Chains A and B, each alone.
Chain A
């Protein structure tokens, strides 16, 4: 059952990720990216990360992607033009992609030949309670710093996107 669930949602994630890269219209890419994030949330649940799975759905698929879709609609972005492709990109693109993939996979298999087998329920430390306990004790300073970061980002976004006043 674990294997079936993993393979199903990994396949959805990979198909959607390929779709993100090959679609020419940005709105199709955005909707495919929501598919990737949704299936990743299920994989997080399989790994025992309940809190992260919920945050993934709410923050990524909910907030960030809605922002993307709003901007795409606001700018009325059309399909990408296909002119001006460089010869180097055409020749090296696909081999380069597979080289990176093989290198990463080889490193993973070399370093973790007998790693744990993931079973649903094998790790139950990822609930909101456990994450919150660690977040508010050991990681309290980074947590507070991220609130400052978010504040700066909000101010920066407002300054960048506001209408110029004469």
Chain B
């Protein structure tokens, strides 16, 4: 009984992060783009906890905790911004929210 190699956890984290990047770049719905950011944050949290196991230190858990707090604050502000954008423009498509471009 040898257990799971730590690199499997890190590769799973890399896979989730790459999927988050793909969702962030290719999706058009602003809410789905925001959820892709949450997916990336979760992937990074998994690496933090995995390295915490490797080094036998709790510091990685603390950083994961802070990432969660920042993600909660970010979700509150981001969703408020999404609400305001929808109220002003009646759309959730990121391609149509381009007033800074011109």
> In the assembly, what is the distance between CA of A46 and CA of B23, in Å?
28
Which of A44, A49, A109 gathers most chain B CB within 10 Å? A49
Q: Which chain B residues lie closer than 8 Å to A84 at the CB level? A: 28, 95
> In the assembly, what is the distance between CA of A52 and CA of B64, in Å?
7
Q: Which chain B residues lie closer than 8 Å to A120 at the CB level? A: 3
- Judge if A165 is at the interface, Cβ distance under 8 Å: no
Residues 46 to 65 of chain B near chain A (Cβ within 8 Å):
46, 49-50, 52-54, 56-59, 61-62, 64-65
In the bound complex, do residue B39 and residue A52 qualify as a contact, i.e. CB atoms below 8 Å apart? no
> In the assembly, what is the distance between CA of A39 and CA of B71, in Å?
18
In the bound complex, do residue A118 and residue B35 qualify as a contact, i.e. CB atoms below 8 Å apart? no
Q: Which chain B residues lie closer than 8 Å to A113 at the CB level? A: 7
Within the complex, which residue of A13, A40, A80 is in contact with B27, where a contact is CB–CB below 8 Å? A80
Q: Which chain A residues lie closer than 8 Å to B28 at the CB level? A: 80-81, 84
**A126-B58, A131-B58 known; A156 and B65 CB under 8 Å?**
no
**A26-B29, A48-B53, A153-B77 known; A112 and B6 CB under 8 Å?**
yes
Within the complex, which residue of B42, B57, B74 is in contact with A37, where a contact is CB–CB below 8 Å? B42
In the bound complex, do residue B16 and residue A43 qualify as a contact, i.e. CB atoms below 8 Å apart? no
In the bound complex, do residue B16 and residue A68 qualify as a contact, i.e. CB atoms below 8 Å apart? no
**A75-B86, A77-B31, A112-B10 known; A6 and B68 CB under 8 Å?**
no
- The A/B interface has a contact count, at CB < 8 Å, of 234
In the bound complex, do residue A109 and residue B7 qualify as a contact, i.e. CB atoms below 8 Å apart? yes
In the bound complex, do residue B3 and residue A157 qualify as a contact, i.e. CB atoms below 8 Å apart? no
Chain A residue with the shortest CB-CB distance to B34: A68
B residues near A, CB below 8 A? 1-12, 14-23, 25-29, 31-32, 34-36, 38-39, 42, 45-46, 49-50, 52-54, 56-59, 61-62, 64-66, 68-77, 79-84, 86, 92-93, 95
A residues near B, CB below 8 A? 1-3, 6, 10, 13-14, 17-18, 20-21, 26, 29-30, 33, 36-37, 40, 43-44, 46-49, 51-52, 55-56, 59-60, 63-64, 67-68, 71-72, 74-75, 77, 80-81, 84, 89, 93, 97, 100-101, 104-105, 108-109, 112-113, 115-120, 122-123, 125-126, 130-131, 134-135, 139, 142, 146, 149-150, 152-154, 156-158, 160-161
Given A36-B16, A158-B80, 14 further pairs, Cβ under 8 A: A29-B31, A29-B32, A49-B49, A49-B52, A60-B38, A64-B38, A75-B82, A80-B27, A116-B54, A117-B4, A118-B4, A131-B62, A134-B59, A150-B69
